[in-house]
Amino acid sequence: MPTSDSTFDPATTQQTFRLGTPDYLAPPLMAAIVSYMRSSAPGAQLLIQPLAPDCDFASELADGRLDVVIGNWPQPPQHLRSKLLFADETVCLVDRAHRCAAHMRREDYLQGCHVVPSTYNVPAGGVVDMHLSAHAMSRTPTVTVPYFSMAPQLLPGTDLIYTTSRHFAEHYAAILPLAIVTPPIAFPEMNFYQLWDPSTEHAPGRLWFRSLLSAVVRTARATQHTRTPKIPVRQADRS
């Protein structure tokens, strides 16, 4: 991958790269990032840091405690540099024996019991609840969990509903007795951005790292479905 400074060589660098993100990127996607980095920069170190609900990631990007943050926002913070990594479909994940495993109606969703991860640094709430609120709707957070990856583990044998991205849902539906259901509400796609501080815009190592993240996401098997044509879902099918 090209960089703005030929003195930076990923093959010989021993730089530490610090990535902040909630755990809502599916393990296969994170594994692809790690694999690509190990093969192209074997002397580098990668520090993956979770974003706590009270994390001031803008300050951590500014003072170098983080190099890049990956987050899911309808619009990324305007005072930071950003690039869209990928946009993913919003789906529901339920137990295979859930009464809505084959089809979910709007009232099923709005009156259902939901498992909801804690939001991080988003005063208005997560993207799902922001969309519902904007359309005068709401859901009941029956169970709130501190980690995104905990939510699928709670679904088997329960009536809980988990709203998430398709790449995340497909990973857990392959290893747990879960079903992926088209939501009865026309949620927008989930946009996953990488963010960085303007002061590091041209730092050669960080520029390379951001390029690596973009390249992996563009080619990873976990996000392959985001690169294939989608068949539009008729509004009548969301009743």
pLDDT digits (tens, 9 = 90+) for 103-158: 999 999 999 999 999 875 554 568 899 999 999 999 999 999 999 999 999 999 99
Q: How far apart are CA 239 and CA 224, in angstroms?
A: 28
CA dist list (Å): 87 to 34, 169, 192, 193: 21, 14, 6, 9
Q: Specify the number of domains making up the chain.
A: 2
User: 149 and 170 in one domain?
Assistant: yes
Instruction: Look up the CATH number of the domain holding residue 215.
Output: 3.40.190.10
Q: Are residues 128 and 64 in the same domain?
A: no
What's the pLDDT at 128? Answer: 93
pLDDT at 229: 61
Q: Has residue 136 been placed in a domain? A: yes
Q: How many Å apart are CA 168 and CA 23, to the nearest integer?
A: 10
pTM (two decimals) = 0.86
Domain that holds residue 114: 90-187
DSSP helix/strand/coil, 28: helix
Q: Identify residue 105 by its one-letter amino acid code.
A: R
Q: Within the chain, which residues score under 50 in pLDDT?
A: 1-5, 123, 231-239
CA–CA distance, 48 with 69 (Å, rounded to integer): 10
Q: Hey, which bits of the chain come out as E strands? A: 16-20, 45-49, 68-72, 81-88, 90-95, 113-117, 140-145, 160-165, 178-181, 190-196
The 10s digit of each residue's pLDDT in 11-20 is: 999 999 999 9
Is 8 part of a structural domain of the chain?
no
Answer yes or no: is 108 within a domain: yes
Euclidean distance between CA atoms 168 and 93, whole angstroms: 10
Q: Is residue 7 part of a domain?
A: no
Instruction: Identify the pLDDT of residue 202.
Output: 92
Give the per-residue pLDDT at 194.
95
* Residues 182, 116 share a domain: yes
